Amino acid sequence: MLQAVLAASARARAAPATLRLLSTAAPAAAAAAASNNNKNGTAIVLMNMGGPATLDEVEPFLGRLFGDPDIIPIPFQSKLGPWIAKNRTPKIKNQYAQIGGGSPIRMWTEKQGQMLERLLDETSPETAPHKSFVAFRYAAPLTDEAVRAVQDAGFTRAVAFTQYPQYSCSTTGSSLNELHRQLRVHDKDGTIQWSVIDRWPTHPKLVDAFLDRIQTALQQYPENERDSVVIVFSAHSLPMTVIERGDPYVHEVAATVQAVMDKLGHTHPYRLAWQSKVGPRAWMGPQTADVLEALGKKGHKNVLLVPIAFTSDHIETLFELDIEYGTEAREKWGLTGLKRAESLNDSPIFIEAMADVVKAHLARNVAASPLLQLQCPMCTKESCRDAKVYFTAYNATLQAKAKEPASTL
Amino acid sequence: MLQAVLAASARARAAPATLRLLSTAAPAAAAAAASNNNKNGTAIVLMNMGGPATLDEVEPFLGRLFGDPDIIPIPFQSKLGPWIAKNRTPKIKNQYAQIGGGSPIRMWTEKQGQMLERLLDETSPETAPHKSFVAFRYAAPLTDEAVRAVQDAGFTRAVAFTQYPQYSCSTTGSSLNELHRQLRVHDKDGTIQWSVIDRWPTHPKLVDAFLDRIQTALQQYPENERDSVVIVFSAHSLPMTVIERGDPYVHEVAATVQAVMDKLGHTHPYRLAWQSKVGPRAWMGPQTADVLEALGKKGHKNVLLVPIAFTSDHIETLFELDIEYGTEAREKWGLTGLKRAESLNDSPIFIEAMADVVKAHLARNVAASPLLQLQCPMCTKESCRDAKVYFTAYNATLQAKAKEPASTL
């Protein structure tokens, strides 16, 4: 067995260039866990950005956000980050106050997790029991808390499951980098075998879940106006510098949109727009607010906004789309028939999608997709490279295992 | 019957805002042709950019290209366009000389058209006979020639079929604007009933055709290196100003890539990159050449380039990818295993895709998809708006027809 693991490590070094060039040693987790060991069940760690649950949590939340070079690279980050966070706190606090005093994302994620556990226990009894954990990047429960909870519950098999369907280095990448850092502190011996679901932009049931929300929203228009509805998909934008480095997020969001419209049968005209740009740098466009204003100017009345990269409600849907853009669109831009498709939240179809993604991932018995191995072509970050190696090295172990004589399996 | 047409026109003016705001009168073609009249068969007009067939055609080709504000908006276009074209001619002539003295795109398009005719006559006898025509935007046969050829052949039903699977205002949009202009000159009475296939980025057989080319290319790698191949999809880039206006091209190209990788089963890591940027303005990135160089620097050897927006070979594949980037990549950037997937050209699967797209379009009996009705939100071009109205107005006629009592049908 050990020979197979060593041979696999050798093969890993010989094969993809991303791995070959590394100075980092093969991760302990991959070497220690040489089988898809989930006889004790499976921990499902739901990774997301998170949000402040109360107004008091706004400043620490912003502090972590502006302290993370994976999402907001700024010079003198350790000094400037807290300063920007402190400065922005009153404005952002006010926004959270307007949506009920905090972000509902923890509530939604925990609910999704519980629904997911139940469904997986039914549909994938061979990997049961399943228990969900929440690992937020900038709010409680943070990644270290999640890792310790997985350990305390005695799991030796865990799936890091991104709740961003489309991969960006700024989102899923940042979460994986943080998970990697925390595992090097809290699980030095690699007692937990990790695998990663890094993206699922066009999973058929995810597409169905979006479709269901869109169809429900379209039904709310009077029948004689329904055909005139323009669908505007909206996703969080990204600085062009990140896209220029080879970040695949924009492409994957576009793929989700196309898959949804293909399934809807292209009954309505649509555009994909990008929201939440901050600062003076160039970001991906067109911006959602500009698109809404321009459609109003062209005489459209009925626009259906569809958040396509956030799966649960948080400030970007409840404040930015509904209040900030929504008010202007209805009152100034003439979009009297502006509506927003409900976020996926606890949509049963969405929970089925989540369960299907996890079940298929566990059945494939791989550490991660080949795509996770490939660092963005123009990226030079060591943290990013090392996390990718850590989470994909187990693939080589599995390949070796598959090639062993059956008797040793 | 006439009443139905008039009612339909009234409805067209009452319904989508894009149509409602127009000063242009309802197009003659839509008013004249009130049924899907293809008892005389169907003309299929294949629209594409085209390319100079000989070196002498390079300057007039560039002259038309730099004279078209839909693709290259420049100040003082009528003066500056010819000047830029003349200046660039020696360089571009040299490039065409290196790929055999001219573009093969006319040869491929005519061949595709003939194969398409045969297949459609078999699979869609109710719309036969089918005859294909080529309408290039910047080289012979130009759009006016195509329109006159359709008329001379006695067709009263024609399909404008874009050979760009993904829609851009710079490509398909420009071709439709030119077709609209030519029809207003050469078919004032609307004797031909036109409908438009404006995009087909994720048609299953188009995806199969790309897949087949990729699988064939992957087989050319030694078995022990095959897993290490990184796939780089390459599409012509676009200025960010066009994207900011709401042009959907980038999103649709990304959707094609995702559909291809979904069907391939995500066996290889990949990126989508953008080629052929010119001038100092910001264009969509990352650039293909930069991605190749960066992958080489990271130690990759085996890269498979896949042209994903051009379906036939022309200068961007044969010179830019194969010679310009290819030579540097192999000699300087260390990509000793760089290969390029063959363009779709006369791939039988691609021809099946073309035929399926046309057959389904004819069966739906619509003028164009609802998406074509929606002008880019931030676009203010009248030519673009008018062409969209011209080519989609017939939808309203059809809707009216569907609502008439059966006896008058």
Q: Does B8 touch chain A (CB under 8 A)?
A: no
CA neighbours closer than 13 Å in the CB half-sphere of residue A385: 17
Residue A360 domain-assigned (yes or no): no
Distance from CA of B178 to the nearest CA of A (A): 23
Residue A345 domain-assigned (yes or no): no
Q: Do A271 and B375 touch (CB under 8 A)?
A: no
Residue A13 domain-assigned (yes or no): yes
Query: Do A195 and A211 sit in the same domain of this protein?
Result: no
In whole angstroms, what is the distance from residue A368 CA to residue B137 CA? 46
Query: Do B43 and B9 sit in the same domain of this protein?
Result: yes
Band the pLDDT of B393: cuts 50, 70, 90.
confident
Predicted TM-score (pTM) of the model is 0.91
Contact status, residue A369 vs residue A360, Cβ threshold 8 Å: no
In whole angstroms, what is the distance from residue B11 CA to residue B24 CA? 15
Q: Does B395 touch chain A (CB under 8 A)?
A: no
Query: Do B252 and B296 sit in the same domain of this protein?
Result: yes
Max CA distance (Å), chain A: 73
A56 is catalytic: no
Determine if the peptide bond prior to A286 is cis (ω within 30°): yes
Q: Residue A268: pLDDT above 90?
A: yes
Question: How far is Cα of residue A40 from the mean position of the Cα atoms in its chain?
Answer: 27
Q: Residue A223: pLDDT above 90?
A: yes
Residue A346 domain-assigned (yes or no): no
Size of interface A-B (CB pairs under 8 A): 156
Q: What is the DSSP letter of B281?
A: S
As a whole number, mean pLDDT of residues B358-383 equals: 94
Query: Do B311 and B399 sit in the same domain of this protein?
Result: no
Residue B347 domain-assigned (yes or no): no
Taking a contact as any Cβ pair under 8 Å apart, which residues of chain B between 176 and 215 contact chain A?
201-202
Q: Residue A269: pLDDT above 70?
A: yes
Tokens 């598959």 sit at which residue?
Answer: A402
Residue A356 domain-assigned (yes or no): no
- pLDDT reported for residue B279: 86
- pLDDT reported for residue B239: 96
CA-nearest residue to B244 within chain A is A286
Q: Does B247 touch chain A (CB under 8 A)?
A: no
Band the pLDDT of A9: cuts 50, 70, 90.
very low
Q: Residue B102: pLDDT above 50?
A: yes
In whole angstroms, what is the distance from residue B361 CA to residue A233 CA? 26
β-sheet bridge partners, residue B130: B42
As a whole number, mean pLDDT of residues B206-226 equals: 98
Identity of the residue numbered A199: R
Which of the residues A314, A356, A361, A386 is marked catalytic? A356
Give the number of other Cβ atoms within 10 Å of residue A128's Cβ.
Answer: 15
In whole angstroms, what is the distance from residue A272 CA to residue A308 CA? 9
Mention every residue, 6+ apart, whose C-beta is less than 8 A from residue A393.
Answer: A9, A12, A19, A26, A27, A30, A367
CA torsion, ordered B66, B69, B73, B77, to nearest 10 deg: 60
Which of the residues A130, A187, A198, A203 is marked catalytic? A203
The two tokens of residue A63 are: 């502090």
Quote ipTM for the complex: 0.90
Residue A295 domain-assigned (yes or no): yes
Beta pairing, strands A157-162 & A193-197: parallel
- pLDDT reported for residue A299: 96
Tokens 């492409």 sit at which residue?
Answer: A251
Q: Does B304 touch chain A (CB under 8 A)?
A: no
Q: Does A39 touch chain B (CB under 8 A)?
A: no
Residue B235, H or E segment: strand B230-236
- pLDDT reported for residue A393: 81
Band the pLDDT of A177: cuts 50, 70, 90.
very high
In whole angstroms, what is the distance from residue B220 CA to residue B226 CA? 9
Q: Among the ranges B20-34, B62-76, B129-143, which has the highest mean pLDDT value?
A: B129-143
Partner residue facing A378 (CB), from B21, B254, B286: B286
Q: Do B255 and A250 touch (CB under 8 A)?
A: no
Q: Do A21 and B299 touch (CB under 8 A)?
A: yes
Q: Does B246 touch chain A (CB under 8 A)?
A: yes
pLDDT in tens, B12-47: 333 344 333 333 333 434 433 334 456 689 999 999
Chain B residues with CB inside 8 Å of A255's CB?
Answer: 254-255, 257-259
- pLDDT reported for residue B5: 33
Q: How far apart are the first and last CA of chain B?
A: 8
Identity of the residue numbered B183: L
Contact status, residue B214 vs residue B261, Cβ threshold 8 Å: no
Chain B residues with CB inside 8 Å of A243's CB?
Answer: 285-286
Q: Which burial class, exposed, middle or buried, applies to B78 when counting CB atoms under 10 A from its CB (0-12, 13-18, 19+)? A: exposed
Q: Does A364 touch chain B (CB under 8 A)?
A: no
Residue B355 domain-assigned (yes or no): no
Query: Do B334 and B233 sit in the same domain of this protein?
Result: yes
Beta pairing, strands A270-275 & A230-236: parallel
In whole angstroms, what is the distance from residue B111 CA to residue B346 CA? 7
Total domains, chain A: 3
Three-class SS string for chain A?
CHHHHHHHHHHHHHCCHHHHCCCCCCCHHHHHCCCCCCCCCEEEEEEECCCCCCHHHHHHHHHHHHCCCCCCCCCCHHHHHHHHHHHHHHHHHHHHHHCCCCCCHHHHHHHHHHHHHHHHHHHCHHHCCEEEEEEECCCCCEHHHHHHHHHHCCCCEEEEEECCCCCCHHHHHHHHHHHHHHHHHHCCCCCCEEEEECCCCCCHHHHHHHHHHHHHHHHCCCHHHHCCCEEEEEEECCEHHHHHCCCCHHHHHHHHHHHHHHHHCCCCCEEEEEECCCCCCCECCCEHHHHHHHHHHCCCCEEEEEECCCCCCCHHHHHHHHHHHHHHHHHCCCCCEEEECCCCCCCHHHHHHHHHHHHHHHHHCCCCCHHHHCCCCCCCCHHHHHHHHHHHHHHHHHHHHHHCCHHHC
Partner residue facing A227 (CB), from B15, B250, B378: B15
3-state secondary structure of B239: strand
Q: Dihedral sign, CA of B314, B320, B326, B331?
A: positive
- pLDDT reported for residue A18: 39
Crossing angle for the helix pair A382-403 and A2-14, nearest 10 degrees? Answer: 130
Query: Do B306 and B391 sit in the same domain of this protein?
Result: no
Query: Do A160 and A25 sit in the same domain of this protein?
Result: yes
Contact status, residue A347 vs residue A136, Cβ threshold 8 Å: no
Q: Which residues of B are catalytic?
A: 203, 356
Query: Do B13 and B65 sit in the same domain of this protein?
Result: no
Q: What is the DSSP letter of B154?
A: T
Q: Give DSSP secondary structure letters for B294-310.
A: HHHHTT--EEEEEE-S-
pLDDT in tens, B153-173: 999 999 999 999 999 999 999
Q: Residue B399: pLDDT above 80?
A: no
Beta pairing, strands B337-340 & B302-307: parallel
Q: What is the mean pLDDT of chain B?
A: 89
Query: Do A74 and A111 sit in the same domain of this protein?
Result: no
pLDDT in tens, A82-138: 999 999 999 999 999 999 999 999 999 999 999 999 999 999 999 999 999 999 999
- pLDDT reported for residue B116: 98
Query: Do B77 and B147 sit in the same domain of this protein?
Result: no
Percent of chain A at pLDDT exceeding 70: 87
Q: Residue A215: pLDDT above 90?
A: yes
Nearest to B238 by CA among B295, B172, B178, B330: B172
Q: What is the mean pLDDT of chain A?
A: 89
Identity of the residue numbered B406: A
Query: What domain range is A392 assigned to?
Result: 2-49+104-199+365-403
- pLDDT reported for residue B21: 33
Q: Residue A302: pLDDT above 90?
A: yes
Chain B residues with CB inside 8 Å of A16's CB?
Answer: 227-228, 269, 300
Query: Do A164 and A246 sit in the same domain of this protein?
Result: no
pLDDT in tens, A25-36: 334 344 333 344
- pLDDT reported for residue A279: 86
CA-nearest residue to B256 within chain A is A255
Q: Does A266 touch chain B (CB under 8 A)?
A: yes
In whole angstroms, what is the distance from residue A180 CA to residue B133 CA? 59
CA-nearest residue to A229 within chain B is B16
Q: Do B299 and A17 touch (CB under 8 A)?
A: yes
Find the DSSP H helices in B265-347. 288-297, 315, 326-331
Q: Is A358 left (phi over 0), alpha (psi -120 to 50) or beta?
A: alpha
Q: Which of B241, B251, B305, B389 to mutate to test the interface with A (most CBs of A within 10 A)?
A: B251
CA-nearest residue to B262 within chain A is A202
In whole angstroms, what is the distance from residue A44 CA to residue B223 CA? 36
Query: Do A19 and A144 sit in the same domain of this protein?
Result: yes
pLDDT in tens, A352-375: 999 999 999 999 989 999 999 999
* CATH number of the structural domain spanning residue A330: 3.40.50.1400
Chain A residues with CB inside 8 Å of B201's CB?
Answer: 258
Q: Do B294 and A246 touch (CB under 8 A)?
A: yes
3-state secondary structure of B374: coil
Q: Residue A38: pLDDT above 80?
A: no
Q: Does B371 touch chain A (CB under 8 A)?
A: yes
Q: Does A118 touch chain B (CB under 8 A)?
A: no
- pLDDT reported for residue B233: 98
Mention every residue, 6+ apart, whose C-beta is less than 8 A from residue B196.
Answer: B159, B160, B162, B176, B367, B368, B372, B391, B392
Nearest to B293 by CA among B324, B327, B323, B335: B335
Q: Which of B262, B378, B380 to mutate to test the interface with A (most CBs of A within 10 A)?
A: B378
- pLDDT reported for residue A20: 34
Give the number of other Cβ atoms within 10 Å of residue A151's Cβ.
Answer: 16
Nearest to A297 by CA among B169, B377, B382: B377
Q: Does A403 touch chain B (CB under 8 A)?
A: no
Contact status, residue B130 vs residue B117, Cβ threshold 8 Å: yes
